[in-house]
Structure 1
Amino acid sequence: MPETDPKVDEFFASLEQWRDELAALRRIALRCGLTEAYKWRQPCYTYQDSNVAILGAFKSSCTLSFFKGALLKDPQGILTKPGENTRAARVARFTSVSQIETLTPLLESYLRDAIRLEQEGARVDRSEGVDPEAPAELDARPREDPALKAAFEALTPGRQRAYLMHFAAAKQSSTRTARIDKCAPRILDGKGLNDCTCGHTQKPPGCDGSHKHYR
């Protein structure tokens, strides 16, 4: 079995929830010959330096996420999108060791298929779908506030897309304008719509709700 990463050992030692479940998922990943690493404060499993899968611990469940899960066949339907607009990743959620043990053969087959995809150089088609257009209210803002335009264009494409979808989802012009006004400070700070702004998150750059404990 491949060697474990000491930083991942420390991660497991610090767990207060889902330790046994994540340990079971860890054993499955290692049996498949993946290399263990500690990335984004989570146990990550790679093949020849390419990310294949990552473990996660959340309040309601623990997860095994596949970076290119959209390319995997999922006959039992255990994989879901982690977000409505996610294109590549797919996640399997668990709440017990027995659940993981029952699905072990299936999870191993998914991991081996994910390795095969890396060997074949498979890529997720990220061009599928049309990005939302910038609402007129946002287009008008740069004339009043050129700094906002520069800050928005400096954001990553994913962050820009999240903001555009958030703005465009509002049916009323006044609501779109209000959303832009509310988000403007975040954009000027280079933050995404769901990025942490308080500095307390344990899962950067996203917000994990830690700020609620510091009020």
Structure 2
Amino acid sequence: MESKSENKGIWKYGDKWEKELLLLKSIIDKTELTETTKWGGPVYVYEKKNVIGLGGFKDYFAIWFFNGVFLKDEKKKLINAQENLTKSLRQWRFTSKEEINEKEVLKYIFEAIQNEKLGKVIKPSKKEAIVSEILDKEMAQNPALKEAFQKFSPYKQYEFLEYIETAKQEKTKLSRIEKVVPMILANVGLNDKYR
């Protein structure tokens, strides 16, 4: 007989915390969130947006708040499971049923729903920096070009880099470089004529 924990992914310890998770579910049922299943476990959504999830792990069970970073967390319950990697997600871990305080849990969940209604989400972090080896090479050979490039605002620098690096073929990149070098030297931004 197959054990049913085979394919639960991160919920493989759900059975261990069955009663505890049911208790949390009964609390969440008092809110306007809708239960769905994602990634093999219960996720509660508000207007299709993930608000919280539940899961059982080896040493604890947890509620995680998809945009937990915005919660006031007055009780200091939330942890970031992966510092530096996780921007928004926060977990509230429990190791026993006794630790579940319905009033506190609901307070956090209502705040999370409110934040969702207010549209609080982390905007994708600053655009990824673009590196253009071709432009770097040009600038290495031409100090005046490098100096001129550095006078541009980061946003305008980004536009140049994006323009060059979005070309699929090397020869297109080269022809774009040829186009932008005189502009950079003349201190003209790529899209200045449209501004």
Both proteins in one fold, TM over 0.5: yes
Secondary structure, counterpart of 2:29 in structure 1: helix
Residue from 105, 108, 123 that aligns with 2:106 = 108
Which position in structure 2 is the counterpart of 1:47?
46
What is aligned with 1:22? 21
Aligned residue identity for 2:111:
D
> Which residue pairs with 2:90 in the alignment?
90
User: Does the aligned pair in 1 maintain the 2:53–2:63 contact within 8 Å?
Assistant: yes
Q: Take 1:75 and 1:132, find their aligned partners in 2: how far apart are those partners? A: 36
Identical-pair percentage? 34
Q: Deviations over 1:173-193 (max 9, x none)?
A: xxxxxxxxxxxxxxxxxxxxx
State the one-letter code of the partner of 2:83.
E
Task: Give the equivalent residue in structure 1 for 2:145.
Answer: none
Q: Which residue is equivalent to 2:76?
A: 77
C-alpha contact 1:68 1:88 (8 A) present in aligned 2: yes
Contact 1:55 1:62 in 2 (8 A): yes
- Tell me, yes or no, if the aligned pair for 1:87 and 1:126 is still in contact at 8 Å: no
Give the TM-score of the pair, scaled to structure 2. 0.56
Aligned length: 120
Counterpart position of 1:191: none
Aligned residue for 1:46, secondary structure, equals strand
- Structure 2: gaps spanning 5 or more residues: 1-7, 132-195
Q: Which amino acid aligns with 1:88?
A: S
Gaps of 5+ in 1: 1-10, 135-215
Equivalent residue letter for 1:52 = V
Decide which of 107, 117, 127 is 1:119's aligned counterpart. Answer: 117
* 1:16 shift after superposition: 2.9
Output one character per residue of 1:2-58: Cα deviation in whole Å (capped at 9) or x when no partner.
xxxxxxxxx89x943001111111111111121001110011100011100000111
Distance 1:89 1:105 in 2: 22
Amino acid corresponding to residue 106 of structure 1 in structure 2: E
Structure 1 residue runs of 4 or more that deviate by more than 6 Å after TM superposition: 130-134
**Residue of structure 2 in register with 1:57 after alignment:** 56
Q: Tell me, in whole angstroms, the C-alpha distance in 2 between the residues paired with 1:65 and 1:15.
A: 14
CA RMSD of aligned residues (A): 2.5
| Deviation, structure 1 residue 127 | 2.1
